[in-house]
Amino acid sequence: MKMIKAVIRPEKEFDVVGGLEKEGFNSLTKLDVLGRGRQKGVRVGGAVYDELAKLLIYIVVEDKDASRVVETIKKHAHTGNFGDGKIFISDVREAYTIRTGKNRL
């Protein structure tokens, strides 16, 4: 299994979640975060914003679905400007559903 962590623009949440829903991925966990990238925040005139509001999304899927989820997020979170965010993928060894205690997604 793979865990996909995506840092996206908060205003793109509906697009991304809607897109994932259409592909059949309903489950996710989300979290408001602050962050910055290689541009070290933004500078607007004299004002410097060190950290920008982002939305962090966690999704865990089977290995074979990982690339489809990443493509969907990429398509819907993309604006072409700095600050579109990043997607990180890591391995998950096991997943348990607490309700049933079973070892599956």
Which residues would be at the binding site for another protein (CB under 8 A)? Answer: 1, 3, 21, 26-31, 58, 60, 90-99, 101, 105
- Beta carbon nearer to another protein, 68 or 78: 68
Phi, psi of 47 (to 5 degrees): -85, 135
Instruction: Tell me the closest approach of the beta carbon of residue 40 to another protein, in angstroms.
Output: 24
Of 11, 13, 9, give the one whose Cα is nearest residue 21. 13
Instruction: Tell me the closest approach of the beta carbon of residue 98 to another protein, in angstroms.
Output: 4
Under 8 Å between Cβ of 9 and 54: yes
Instruction: Tell me the closest approach of the beta carbon of residue 96 to another protein, in angstroms.
Output: 4
- Beta carbon nearer to another protein, 25 or 85: 25
Structure tokens at 76: 């819907």
- Beta carbon nearer to another protein, 21 or 71: 21
Task: Tell which phi-psi region holds residue 17, choosing left (phi > 0), alpha (psi between -120 and 50) or beta.
Answer: alpha
